[in-house]
Amino acid sequence: MTEAGSYYVIVDYGTCVLNSYSNIINVQVLPSLSPVITSQGNATTICPGNSITLTSSVQNTAYTYTWHKDNVPVAGVNNPVYAATSGGVYHVKVSNGPCSFESNAIVIDETDFNLDTDPDTQTVIMPGESLTITAITDAQNPVYKWYRNDILITGATQATYNATQQGTYKVTVTQPSPCNITKEKNVTLAYPSAFNISIQPEGSYTACSAASVTLAMNQFNAITPSGAVSLMGNTYGYSYQWFKDNVAVPSATTPQITLNTPQLNGTYVLKVTLPDFGVVSSNAFTVNIPVGAVTITGGTSICQNTSTVLSSSVTGAGFTYQWYRNNTLITGANNPTFGASTAGTYHVIITSGTCTAQSNSLVLTVPVITINSTNPDVDVILPGQVKAITVT
C-alpha cells in the first residue's frame, strides 16, 4: 500500500457473503524527511573547552532526535540542536513514529595537540653530566618555555634543554593558533642515591717487600634505582685528591698515585669531588715500602770518660729508631744518631709503617794502657849518681 485510507477485505463464498467482511485498518502514510545538519558559523574546528552548536534542518517537537558522534549514540540528548564539545564525526537520526531518517555527517576537528618528553617523567643524572631533555609535540608553531623547580630558565626557548643539575624540569608548550592552548610536562632528574669508589694496587704488591707500588681507582660506581652505573673514565669534570693519614698529599690530584720510598708509608684514601653533590671517599689502603739496608758508622774505640757518635745511614721523616747495646734496648735512644760512651756491640732497628730493618753491628772498645818495667820496685841512688829507668 502506498496511499492512506481505511482498508478491509471481503471473502467471496459465491452467493454466501454473509459475515465475510474483515475488520477495518486505517493506514496513514508519513511524510519522508531529509534532515540536514549545519554547524554554527559553518565551523569545522573546535578549541579545547569550547563548544560548537550543531542544528538540524528538521525541527518538530513530535519527532525524536538521536545524535551520534563517531557512529555512537550520544546519551541523554533529544533535541534538534546539539552542542559538540570535542572533535569527531557527527550526524543526527530523526524518528517519526516507526520511520527514521539520517542526516548528513559533519567532521569537527579539535585543534588540540600532544606533548611528551624524552626522557619521560624521571631519570638519573650524574653530577657534572649534561643531559638533554627534548619536548616532543605536534603543536603548530609551538612556543617553548623551560623551568627548573618552577623557576623560569632565562633564554631556554627551544625544543631541547641541556640540564646539568638535578631537579624538577618543566616545559610549557603554547600553540598560538587557531586556538591558544598551553600544555606542560614535568621531568624529574635525580642524582644517584650513593657512590662507591674503590682503590687497590696495580699489579702484584706485598707489604714490606715491594720497593714501589701504584695505587689506582679500580671501581667508581653510581648507585641508582636500576642498579650500579660505572663512572670509570667519565668526562664530567670531577676532581681527585689523595690523602695520607688524613692529610692531603700535595699535587696528588689524579686517579692514581705512585709510592716508592718508605717515607711515604701510611694509610691512603682517594677523595673525589662531584660538582653540585659533594665529596665521596674511597676505601682506605695501607702502604708499607721496605726500609732497605741500614748501615751505622762511627768510631770503633774511645778513651775512658769520653764518647763517640754512631750514625744511621737511613734518616728522615717517617722513620722511628731504637738503638741496642749487646742486644739490649737502650731506653730513650730513639734518634738517627747515638752518643756511645761504653764499650759494647751496637746496632739500630729502624721502623717505617709495619716494616723494620736492622743495621750492621758496630763493636766499640775502650783501650786499656799497660805499663811494664824491668826496674826493681825499690832501688838506691847515691848523690850525684844517674840511673836509667826503662818502661814499656
Q: Among all chains, which residue has been given the C-alpha cell 471473502?
A: 11
194-287: CATH architecture:
Sandwich (2.60)
Domain boundaries, the chain: 1-110, 115-190, 194-287
Q: What percent of the chain has pLDDT over 70?
A: 94
Q: Mean pLDDT across the stretch 365-387? A: 74
Q: Which three cell numbers stand for residue 172?
A: 610549557
pLDDT for residue 354: 95
What's the Rg (C-alpha) of the chain?
54
Report, at the CATH architecture level, how domain 115-190 is classified: Sandwich (2.60)
Residues 333-338 have a mean pLDDT of 97
Question: Is pLDDT above 90 for 375?
Answer: no
C-alpha–C-alpha distance, residues 108 and 111, integer Å:
10
pLDDT at 392: 65
Backbone angles phi, psi at 18, to 5 degrees: -70, 135
Class of domain 1-110: mainly beta
pLDDT-wise least confident of 88-97, 142-151, 223-232:
223-232
Work out the pLDDT band at 13, boundaries 50, 70, 90.
low
Q: Please state, in angstroms and rounded to a whole number, the distance separating the CA atoms of residues 310 and 302.
A: 12
DSSP structural state of residue 18: T
The pLDDT assigned to 20 comes to: 66
Termini Cα distance of the chain: 176
Q: Which range is most confident: 39-48, 107-116, 162-171?
A: 162-171
Parallel, antiparallel, or unpaired for β 143-148 and 25-27?
A: unpaired
Q: Do the two domains 1-110 and 115-190 of this chain adopt the same fold?
A: yes
